[in-house]
């Protein structure tokens, strides 16, 4: 499908990433990430610039902060672009700081993928410090709530309302399941991970049974006391049924419960019927564009359907991928812009990974040359194959 066109855009995106000035940590991370996988090479000056940006960062985010940069340096080391001495020097001070950050996040009850324990956990998994990962799993266990057979976590950072369980893959319960599954498969605290996953999918299963015949099955958030739900009503990586299907599939890989496999397939097939006019994708009439980013745009949607097609080999999932890929390519033909200020309808082009053109490039690369893009999406917990 569209092989020549995708090759053309892969090259064009590479040019944009190489031309990135490197003065913004989010955009520089994205451009370098794409260059690593597409070209298997990065200029040393760009690496040094990225390290300088990380040294000035005070956010420490796994999405676009110093933690993301240090994680990326590990990928460069694995690809033999930087040496053992280089990575040791880069990590010498940062590891101690990130170890201290674990207890700070635990005290704040902040488990978030980007700004909490899960992001730190993925980094320490990457560098194989399983004793530290075990400590993070213990904190996550301590932060849980139990209700009958269900286990869930209450958000203390994204929302101001009390008693809210976040159900987004970006910030909520599916990300916890996915992280615990990664820990389980690495042999870290397997019994604890299995117990927590079992309780968490029981919580999701009850919500599924309540609403499984609807176009959109799961809410984005639920008040665990009043049971009031905040609807998601969108296709996206960050919130909605697609991310929950990923979490449930990850749970299946641990528990080997065929009912979970069936549920994950049912959710993703249900989502495959939804089209652009009812998908909740951001668009701008003024700018004549739709969001094509990974987080909540067409490329992220197409990527998730492609991942599940590789797992289940169902034609409906291939058709859904092709539909959303075609929309993405149509937008690339016109020129891509991404939501910058939705309230004022401001859209810009940038090289960010999660919400920009480098992320779109990674989706195209994974589709066209999956061997070159192997496991690139594990940072966003989409590594379901």
- The CA distance from 38 to 30, in Å, is 12
Q: Is the pLDDT of residue 1 over 80?
A: no
Distance from chain centroid for Cα 153 = 19
Which one, of 170, 73, 105, 112, lies nearest residue 381 by Cα? 170
Domain range list for the chain: 145-274
> What pLDDT, in 10s, does the model give residues 35-69?
999 999 899 999 999 999 999 988 899 999 999 99
Give the burial string for 74-112 (b: 16+ CB within 10 Å, else e): bbbbeeebbeeebbeebbeebbeebeebbeebbeebbbb
Averaged pLDDT score across all residues of the chain: 97
Q: What percent of the chain has pLDDT over 70?
A: 100
> What pLDDT, in 10s, does the model give residues 8-31?
999 999 999 999 998 999 999 999
Position 107 confidence tier, pLDDT thresholds 50, 70, 90: very high
Position 2 confidence tier, pLDDT thresholds 50, 70, 90: confident
At residue 205, the pLDDT reads: 99
Which one, of 171, 146, 112, 142, lies nearest residue 224 by Cα? 146
> What pLDDT, in 10s, does the model give residues 309-324?
999 999 999 999 999 9
Which one, of 84, 121, 77, 80, lies nearest residue 99 by Cα? 121
Q: Tokens for 352, please give them.
A: 């960010």
Q: How many CA atoms lie within 13 A of 35 on its CB side?
A: 23
- The CA distance from 275 to 28, in Å, is 33
* Residues that constitute the known binding site: 238, 295-296
What's 41's DSSP letter?
-
Contacts with 16 (C-beta within 8 Å, 6 or more apart), sequence order: 31, 349, 351, 357
Compare 60 and 132 and report the one with higher pLDDT: 132
Q: Tokens for 317, please give them.
A: 């999932």
Q: Is the pLDDT of residue 82 over 90?
A: yes
> What pLDDT, in 10s, does the model give residues 156-172?
988 889 999 999 999 99
Helix (H) or strand (E) holding 219: strand 219-223
- The CA distance from 154 to 110, in Å, is 10
Which one, of 126, 162, 158, 134, lies nearest residue 378 by Cα? 126
- The CA distance from 320 to 294, in Å, is 16
Alpha helices in the chain (DSSP H): 3-19, 25-39, 44-56, 66-78, 84-107, 117-126, 130-143, 173-185, 190-211, 241-255, 258-272, 298-312, 315-334, 357-368
At residue 8, the pLDDT reads: 98
Contacts with 306 (C-beta within 8 Å, 6 or more apart), sequence order: 317, 321, 325, 366, 367
* Residues that constitute the known binding site for Zn(2+): 238, 295-296
Contacts with 103 (C-beta within 8 Å, 6 or more apart), sequence order: none
Q: Which 3-state string (H, E, C) describes 254-306? A: HHCCHHHHHHHHHHHHHHHCCCHHHCCCCEECCCCEECCCCCCCHHHHHHHHH
């Amino acid at each position: 499908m569209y092989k020549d066109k995708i090759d053309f855009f892969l090259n064009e995106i590479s040019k944009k990433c190489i031309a990135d000035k490197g003065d913004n940590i989010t955009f520089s991370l994205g451009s370098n990430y794409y260059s690593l996988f597409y070209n298997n090479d990065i200029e040393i000056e760009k690496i040094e610039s990225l390290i300088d940006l990380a040294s000035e960062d005070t956010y420490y985010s796994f999405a676009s902060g110093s933690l993301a940069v240090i994680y990326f340096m590990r990928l460069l080391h694995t690809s033999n672009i930087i040496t053992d001495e280089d990575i040791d020097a880069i990590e010498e001070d940062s590891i101690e700081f990130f170890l201290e950050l674990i207890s700070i996040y635990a005290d704040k009850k902040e488990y978030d993928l980007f700004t909490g324990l899960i992001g730190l956990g993925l980094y320490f998994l990457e560098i194989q410090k399983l004793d530290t990962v075990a400590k993070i799993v213990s904190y996550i266990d301590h932060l849980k709530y139990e209700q009958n057979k269900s286990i869930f976590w209450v958000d203390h950072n994204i929302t101001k309302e009390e008693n809210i369980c976040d159900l987004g893959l970006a910030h909520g319960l599916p990300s916890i399941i996915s992280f615990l599954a990664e820990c389980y498969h690495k042999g870290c605290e397997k019994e604890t991970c299995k117990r927590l996953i079992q309780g968490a999918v029981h919580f999701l299963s009850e919500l599924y049974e309540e609403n499984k015949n609807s176009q959109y099955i799961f809410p984005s958030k639920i008040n665990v006391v009043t049971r009031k739900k905040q609807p998601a009503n969108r296709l996206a990586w960050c919130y909605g049924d697609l991310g929950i299907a990923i979490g449930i599939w990850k749970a299946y890989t641990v528990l080997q419960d065929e009912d979970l496999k069936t549920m994950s397939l049912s959710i993703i097939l249900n989502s495959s019927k939804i089209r652009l006019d009812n998908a909740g994708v951001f668009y701008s009439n003024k700018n004549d564009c739709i969001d094509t980013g990974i987080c909540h745009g067409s490329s992220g949607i197409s990527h998730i359907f492609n991942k599940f097609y590789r797992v289940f080999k169902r034609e409906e999932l291939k058709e859904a991928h092709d539909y959303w890929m075609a929309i993405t390519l149509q937008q690339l033909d016109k020129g891509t812009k991404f939501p910058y200020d939705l309230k004022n309808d401001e859209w810009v082009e940038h090289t960010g990974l999660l919400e920009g053109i480098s992320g779109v490039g990674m989706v195209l690369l994974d589709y066209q040359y999956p061997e070159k893009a192997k496991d690139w999406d594990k940072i966003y917990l989409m590594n379901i194959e």
